[in-house]
Homo-oligomer: A and B are copies of this chain.
Amino acid sequence: MPDYRVPVRDMKFVREEVLDFPGLWQRLPGCEEVTAELASAIYEAVAKLCEEVLAPLWRSGDEEGCTWNPEGVRTPEGFKEAYARYVEGGWPALTGPVDYGGQGLPPSLESVLNEFVGTANWAWSMYPFLAKGGRLTVTAHGDEELKRQYLAKLISGEWTATMCLTEAHAGTDLGILRTKAEPDPDGSYRITGTKIFISSGEHDLVDNILHIVLARLPDAPPGTKGISLFLVPKRLPDAEGNAGAPNGVSCGSIEHKMGIHGNATAVLNFEDARGFLLGEPNRGLNAMFTFMNIARIGTAVQGVAHAELALQGAARYARERLQMRAAKGPANPEGPADPIIVHPDVRRMLLTIKAFAEGTRLLIQSLAYEVDLSYLAADVEERQRAEDLLALLTPVAKGFCTELGFEAASLGIQVFGGHGYIREWGMEQNLRDARIGMIYEGTNGIQAIDLLGRKVLGSGGEMLAPWLRRIADFCRDCAGEAEMAAFVEPLAALVKEWEQLTRDIGARTRKDADEMGAAAFDYLMYAGYVSLAYLWARAARVAQRALAAEDADAEFYRAKLQTADFYYRKILPRTRTLVAGIDSGAEPLMGMAAEAFLLE
């Protein structure tokens, strides 16, 4: 089992040296006192919790899993105690509003917590992280009464939350969901229906769970414009505001899944359960997007998590496992064989994993930077620009990072050879846990359509332009730096190609509506590879400058530069295949009759 060591050094490189969060905070109202030192102290404290409490429950949580009985769900041994430690440490309150007991720190810090805690134990992390989504939803859409009753409980960690969208017949297609909400005279609603695939839907970590539920009001218009959002507590608050009488919510069963066994994926039956409207009637899908966008970035982090675990496991194994000799002669002549890290093909796998782990961290933190801006910038236009950029990059991050995390997890197995397939080493669990990331919070196919159809083409290219401009500006800014040429020249060409590719798809889509969907997935991956190339170039530039200044940490910066070089030479050529695939259009996909896919 990989002994997870939290990569604090790399997180500081990304947040302080590449992205300059401390500089950002200096100019954001209310953040002036958030320094690099304070942030570092937080990273170190999270790291301690992760290494001492959460990571040790990763394998055992998988083996034991959750168990259901008619009274509820028992989480694996140690999960409840770990959650108590988490609450004790004040982690649920980190970025919550001060008025309701929060610490009021910049929201981007959640992404650090998310990565470190998630890598230590993804299944466990989903209990507090869904609570965070619930907290943000109630903050954004709850009235004062709901906030007063529920917000402080989520911020203290006393209660958790869930996101209840899916029904058996309605997954991607929320427009056809059937759960209904009937108004009561007191202003509340009676919710009736069955929701499936509810992560953290029932458990024994806390005594109350707040379900955030999509349902239809009587006479609501059909489709997505007739969906409203409700807060439905598992137990209704009593006079003191504590968990009181049971509400009409029961957990019918939990799923038997490929991975994330430590998290209960529940079937929830709502029978005349009392619920409270969040936001406007029939505008529930918009309100839910507060939760969903957070969940999507949170899921993108899962890509980093599985790549990082793969890296830590595989790099250590490859340095210790002795098999065969290096092509140029023994590297370990005293031993019976050389460590497998001498072999070029093992290095190919390790560098791919490393470029993905560190690269997706860069991408996630770039989004986190925009999150801070979108919440806290003084200038309303700056907030809007950050929100627009987030809207563009969220589906890229969710889709691209989870694909890369899965690939990295599979390579992590491969480096271990036969041992990678054996449960006790943990590498196969890493793959099983990773696989869900490409599916939940909107499959990656849906992310691709959101990116290309809704955001890029839907805005006539306007939402894409600022991102392309930012990359092009960076290239121009590096113009005089000879040592950056190997990065900047291909990057500048890719920006132009990206623009042209987008125009071509737009033109084809105007003639044939299927062209967008045919290009979407390849386009999302293309956007991911080019965006990551931009971020790797920025990281390389920082590393070059540190090396030129003879920084004491030269080993770190040299590795960073070598990984950037690997990314450009061995990974970025994947764009060639993607462009060719996109250019070949919809016709090779749409010609076949539905029955011809499998004649029987």
Contacts and interface: CB of A to CB of B under 8 A. Distances in A.
B556 A599 contact: yes
A570 B598 contact: no
Give the one of A443, A520, A588 with max B CB within 10 A.
A588
Contact of A414 (B170, B257, B439): B439
B315 A598 contact: yes
Interface in A171-207: 171-173, 176, 196-197
Give the one of A341, A435, A513 with max B CB within 10 A.
A435
A268 to B, nearest CB: 15
Interface in A49-94: none
Nearest to A257: B421
Interface in A540-587: 555-556, 558-559, 562-563, 565-566, 569-570, 573-574, 576-577, 580-581, 584, 586
Given A323-B172, A432-B432, A592 B347 contact: yes
Give the one of A418, A436, A449, A555 with max B CB within 10 A.
A418
Given A328-B514, A581-B573, A586-B344, A323 B173 contact: yes
A344 B517 contact: yes
Contacts of A311: 597-598
Contacts of A516: 327
Given A418-B197, A589-B566, A327 B172 contact: no
A435 B448 contact: no
A56 B592 CA distance: 31
A424 interface: yes
Given A344-B586, A562-B596, A592-B347, A420 B439 contact: yes
A9 interface: yes
Contacts of A507: none
Nearest to A259: B421
Contacts of A514: 327-328, 344
A167 B432 CA distance: 27
A100 to B, nearest CB: 33
Contacts of A27: none
A569 B588 contact: yes
Nearest to A449: B345
A513 B327 contact: yes
A598 B312 contact: yes
B444 A435 contact: no
A55 to B, nearest CB: 14
A1 interface: no
Query: Which label, helix, strand, loop or mixed, suits the secondary structure of the A interface?
Result: helix
Contact of A5 (B166, B349, B417, B600): B600
A592 to B, nearest CB: 5
A315 B593 CA distance: 12
A336 B176 contact: yes
A236 interface: no
Contacts of A9: 599
Interface string A201-236: 000000000000000000000000000000000000
A148 interface: no
A518 B344 contact: yes
B257 A521 contact: no
Give the one of A172, A257, A349, A555 with max B CB within 10 A.
A172
A324 B172 contact: yes
A346 interface: yes
Interface in A445-496: 445, 448-449
A256 interface: yes
A111 B147 CA distance: 66
Contacts of A319: 594-595, 597
A431 interface: yes
Given A172-B324, A580-B573, A348 B518 contact: yes
Nearest to A589: B347
A272 interface: no
A421 B258 contact: yes
A422 B324 contact: no
Given A513-B328, A589-B348, A438 B417 contact: no
A333 B486 CA distance: 54
B597 A341 contact: yes
A339 interface: yes
A428 interface: yes
Contacts of A586: 344
Given A328-B513, A341-B597, 19 more contacts: A169-B336, A172-B323, A311-B597, A319-B595, A342-B594, A345-B448, A345-B520, A348-B518, A348-B589, A418-B439, A428-B435, A555-B593, A558-B596, A559-B592, A559-B597, A562-B591, A562-B592, A565-B591, A570-B588
19 contacts: A171-B417, A172-B324, A176-B337, A257-B423, A258-B423, A258-B432, A311-B597, A311-B598, A315-B598, A327-B516, A328-B514, A344-B590, A345-B449, A562-B588, A562-B592, A566-B589, A570-B581, A570-B589, A573-B580
Interface of A: 5, 9, 166, 169-173, 176, 196-197, 255-259, 311-312, 315-316, 318-319, 322-324, 327-328, 336-337, 339, 341-351, 354, 406, 410, 413-414, 417-418, 420-424, 428, 431-432, 435-436, 438-440, 443-445, 448-449, 513-514, 516-518, 520-521, 555-556, 558-559, 562-563, 565-566, 569-570, 573-574, 576-577, 580-581, 584, 586, 588-600
In the A-B complex, the 10 residue pairs with the closest CB atoms: A573-B580, A344-B517, A315-B598, A258-B428, A327-B513, A576-B576, A559-B596, A569-B584, A344-B518, A173-B323
